[in-house]
Structure formats: C-alpha cells, structure tokens
Amino acid sequence: MSFDLGGNTHHVPAKLFVDNRSRLVTELRKVTQKPGAFVVLQGGVGRHRYNTDSEDLPFRQESYFFWAFGAHDSDAFGVIEVATGKAVFFPPRLPPDFAIWEGKIRDEEWFKTKLEVDEVIFNDKYAINDYLTTHGAQHLYLLKAPNTDSGNTLVPAAFTKRPGFNTPVDTATLYPIIANLRVFKTDLELDVMRYAVKIACEAHKDVMKSIRPNMFEYQCESLFRHHSYYHGGCRHFAYTCVAATGCNSSILHYGHANAPNSKLIKDGDMCMYDMGPEYNCYASDVTCSFPANGKFTENQKLIYNAVLKANREVFKAAKPGVRWIDMHLLAEKVLLQGLKDAGILKGDVDEMVKSRLGAVFLPHGLGHLMGLDVHDVGGYLGDATARPTQAGLSSLRTTRTLQERMCITIEPGCYFIDMLIDQALKDAKQREFIVVERLNEFRGFGGIRIEDDIVVWANGNENLSSSVPRTVEEIEAFMKH
C-alpha cells in the first residue's frame, strides 16, 4: 500500500522500503555473522509549537527511519533481525481519545498491510525490550549518525529497557553502512525522485509564466508552493524557498525568517529562484534564474551564459570515476573564462583558479548528493578525501568520486557579493586579474544560479530537471506573454 495522494500523484510502493531493508541486512551480514543480531531504529519525535499543543508543520519523518520503514508515524520504532531480515514495526500505543482529536486508531493489520512489515507490535512500556529478549537478541546495532552538513549527530535509539536488560550495543557499525546505502538510489527510489523533480520543474514554469514586475517575491513563493501541493501533492518542501530578485539574488540562502522573500520585484531585476518540493520525503532541488520581465539585458546574458556553460560542461564530464572536486574546479574554470570574455577579468584562467578567484564569484560548492535529505548523507564516506580547506572548495558537501545511481545537483552560480569583491581587491594576487571599472558595473547585479538534479549513469547522465527552459532563447520564448 505505502503512499500516494490519489489523482495523478505518484504511487510509492511499500516494496521500496522492503528492498531497502533487504539491502541493509545483506550489507550487515558481510561484516557480522553474530547470532542474535538486531537493528533497532528510532523514528522522529513529533513536536508542538512553543508552549501550545498544536503542531507547527505536519510531522515529517526522520530520514534514516523513513528509508527503512516508509512510515509517517511519529514516535515509532523499528526492529530488523539481521539473520532473517524479519522486520517489526512498533507504533506508539495511542490513548483512546486520539480517536476524538486525530481520528481512527489503526490496528496491527492496517500497519502490516501499509508498510509490508512482518509484524506490528504497539510500543507499550517494555514492548521492544521484551521482543528482543524473547527472540534471543545478543547484539544490538543502533544508529549514531553524525551529519557533516549540520554538525549534528543523530543519537542512538532510546527505547525503554526492562531493568536487567544488558544486551551489548554497537553504535559504530550501522551508520557508515546505512548512510552509504542511501547514497545509491534504487529504481523505485529514482521513480520518486523523478516525480518530485518533475513537480519542481512544473511549479518553476508556472512561476515564470505568472511573474510580473511589481509583484512581491513572496507571491512567487506562494505560487510555487500552491502548484507543488495542488498539482503534485507535495505538502512539504525540501528547504526554505529562495525567491530572490535584484540584489537579493546574491544572497545564497535568502528567504529565511528575517529576509522572507519580501522585496517588490522591479522591471529589469534578475530572479534567482531556488525552490524544491519533496514528495513522500524525497527531495527536489531546482534553481531557475531568469529576468523578471522575460527579456535579458546584454550584461545579464553574459553572466547567465557563463553559468549555463559551466553547468553543461560539468553535466558532460561528470562520469563514474570522476572526483567531485575536479568537477567544481572545472565549473570555476568555465565561469572565470566567461567573466574574462565579458571583460570583467583579465589574464590566465588557470592562474586565476590557483589564486582561488573562483571562490569570489562562486563561494558555495558545485553541488551535493540528494535523496531523502536535500543535502543527502554520505558525502564524506566511501572514497571521499578529507574536506578541503581552500576557499570555495571547503564548502563542498562531498569529495567522493561519482558512481552510477548517485543523485547529485549541478548548481554553478555567479554572484556579485560586495564583501567578497572588496576582499579580492585587497588581495594583490587576485586584484591583478580584475578589471575594476568593468566589475564595478556589476555591483548590485545580484547573482545567477542554474541548478539541475541529475542521476549518474555510465552511459550518460540523466537530467531530472531537463523540462525547465534553460537557454536564454528558451527562457525568453517561454516567458513571452
């Protein structure tokens, strides 16, 4: 059964999660043949808005738990026996008046059919503990998952233990295995991601058709959200919507609570819209940059085409076996050449790259793994090299070599950020490459980012976001009223 929202929304079969659990036990069996080994995972905990008993946003499941069980219930646990793969789901035991406030209390059979697990047990006080004891648990694999993006660590499952329960716990083995499995998407996962990104593209196109100078940025965010939810069934978004125009478009993560997409859009503004719905917890992450009035100026065209060339060159070069840092450096090189062609920079492009001038215009990483989290896990596992320390490269969310079935964003950008420009002008080496008067023409221009979501394949990458207009000509034709 698993999940859909009827109509044309994508049906996600429970098999997606059955397969993930099977992949997990297959990998675990390679490193442990211990008898009585069980994985215990804890789902997310529902939270209320400060000082009230109402939810702020509808509960969104913790991603590792979701990857294994596909369940949207808060405060649930899951147990998987490594030797047999048997999966038991432990939903919370709900109080009777749940039926008044929240609706029908589902029984074990309902959960069993929905999630395709082997058994369902309501989580009464020692339920998990009792299950483990009666099934001969001798080793517990719990998830302690550091996150290289947030710096947070997901803490191991905290289930209530009967006094005297002393089964040994291992919190080191599970994390690298499960996080690395999340990096490589199955066919069923890719179907969900294709759908989420398709909805993102359609919503971006709706915004591009509807935008007019003198609207507010947040009205574009609102249109995007409406399209994603009304037409795509996407209730959640993978990150805060960035609907930046004019000089705001050089603020990489504009749109937060203190900069809530609130500017009036002016004729002549460039828009940099980075917005992505998620569907059944799978993320999309698409950025479209375009002129608010539908017609590029010559300067906008120069910068846009330099960024687009960087995006396209990386798409062609990003093959299995290629290291992601090298793709970032390729993007910088193409971008800097574009800025040189635009008369903003002068001199040798390779020397510019060495001086780290690329990071002045492209301070963020070229892209990141994506999946159940928009900045997905596993970027510094596998064959990753240590996080670089040089400007720009230090922002990379992965240094791995690319492999088939990785889903990654390609999102070069070019931003005119006064603080970084001023720093570069004070740096003797970087200043040599800058045509100061010409660069000054671009102060206040804002920025441009072109972000695609791709799947890496040996026979040529798949661009999940190929349906948005991308070239200057395509955008101008599409936006013509």
Neighbouring residues of 117: CB distance < 8 A, sequence distance ≥ 6: 69, 78, 87, 88, 89, 111
Cβ neighbours of 423 (radius 10 Å): 13
- Selected from 81, 116, 278, 411, the binder of ligand GLY by CB under 6 A is 411
Burial class of residue 186 in the structure, from the number of CB atoms within 10 Å of its CB (0-12 exposed, 13-18 middle, 19+ buried): middle
Q: Which is closer to ligand GLY, CB of 43 or CB of 367?
A: 367
CB 279 → ligand GLY: shortest distance, Å?
16
Closest residue by Cα to residue 88 from 100, 98, 97, 80: 80
Q: How many residues bind Mn ion (CB under 5 A)?
A: 4
Q: Hey, is 117 helix, strand or coil?
A: coil
DSSP, res 55? -
Site for ligand GLY in 206-245 (CB under 6 A): 239
CB 281 → ligand GLY: shortest distance, Å?
16
Neighbouring residues of 479: CB distance < 8 A, sequence distance ≥ 6: 208, 209, 211, 290, 291, 294, 295
Neighbouring residues of 271: CB distance < 8 A, sequence distance ≥ 6: 211, 220, 243, 244, 245, 249, 265, 288, 289, 290, 291, 292
Alpha carbons 92 and 40: distance in angstroms, whole number: 15
Binding mask 446-465 for Mn ion (x = CB under 5 A): -----x--------------
Closest residue by Cα to residue 286 from 299, 303, 272, 298: 272
Torsion angle of alpha carbons 414, 420, 425, 427, nearest 10°? -110
- Selected from 2, 409, 430, 461, the binder of Mn ion by CB under 5 A is 409
Name beta bridge partners: 270: 291
Identity of the residue numbered 13: P
Q: Which is closer to ligand GLY, CB of 253 or CB of 429?
A: 253
Q: Which stretch binds Mn ion (CB under 5 A): 13-21, 90-98, 247-255, 406-414?
A: 406-414
By CB under 5 A, tell whether 373 contacts Mn ion.
no
By CB under 6 A, tell whether 148 contacts ligand GLY.
no
By CB under 5 A, tell whether 285 contacts Mn ion.
yes
By CB under 5 A, tell whether 289 contacts Mn ion.
no
Q: Hey, is 79 helix, strand or coil?
A: strand
Q: Which is closer to Mn ion, CB of 149 or CB of 427?
A: 149
Q: Which is closer to Mn ion, CB of 206 or CB of 451?
A: 451
Q: Can you give the C-alpha Rg of the chain in angstroms? A: 24
Q: Which is closer to ligand GLY, CB of 81 or CB of 411?
A: 411
CB 135 → Mn ion: shortest distance, Å?
43
CB 334 → Mn ion: shortest distance, Å?
19
- Selected from 221, 269, 285, 452, the binder of ligand GLY by CB under 6 A is 285
Name beta bridge partners: 243: 273
Q: Which stretch binds Mn ion (CB under 5 A): 285-293, 335-343, 358-366, 440-448?
A: 285-293
217 interacts with, out of ligand GLY, Mn ion, none, CB within 5 to 8 A per kind: none
Q: Which is closer to ligand GLY, CB of 42 or CB of 287?
A: 287
Site for Mn ion in 291-330 (CB under 5 A): none
Lookup: tokens for 206: 């709706």
- Give alpha helix (H) positions in 318-355: 324-341, 349-354
Q: Which is closer to ligand GLY, CB of 188 or CB of 252?
A: 252
Binding mask 245-284 for Mn ion (x = CB under 5 A): -----------------------------x----------
For residue 118, give Cα distances in angstroms to 13, 14, 18, 64: 16, 12, 10, 19
CB 10 → ligand GLY: shortest distance, Å?
22
Q: Hey, is 120 helix, strand or coil?
A: strand
313 interacts with, out of Mn ion, ligand GLY, none, CB within 5 to 8 A per kind: none
Alpha carbons 48 and 56: distance in angstroms, whole number: 6
CB 88 → ligand GLY: shortest distance, Å?
36
Closest residue by Cα to residue 36 from 122, 138, 121: 138
- Residues of 450-462 as b/e, b for ≥16 C-beta within 10 angstroms? bbbbbbbeeeebe
Q: Which is closer to ligand GLY, CB of 285 or CB of 313?
A: 285
Q: Which is closer to Mn ion, CB of 116 or CB of 451?
A: 451
By CB under 6 A, tell whether 274 contacts ligand GLY.
yes
Q: Which is closer to Mn ion, CB of 272 or CB of 344?
A: 272
Q: Which is closer to ligand GLY, CB of 242 or CB of 353?
A: 242
Q: How many residues bind ligand GLY (CB under 6 A)?
A: 7
Binding mask 369-408 for ligand GLY (x = CB under 6 A): -----x----------------------------------
Which residues of the shown chain bind ligand GLY in the complex (CB under 6 A)? 239, 274, 285, 368, 374, 411, 451
Binding site for Mn ion (CB under 5 A): 274, 285, 409, 451
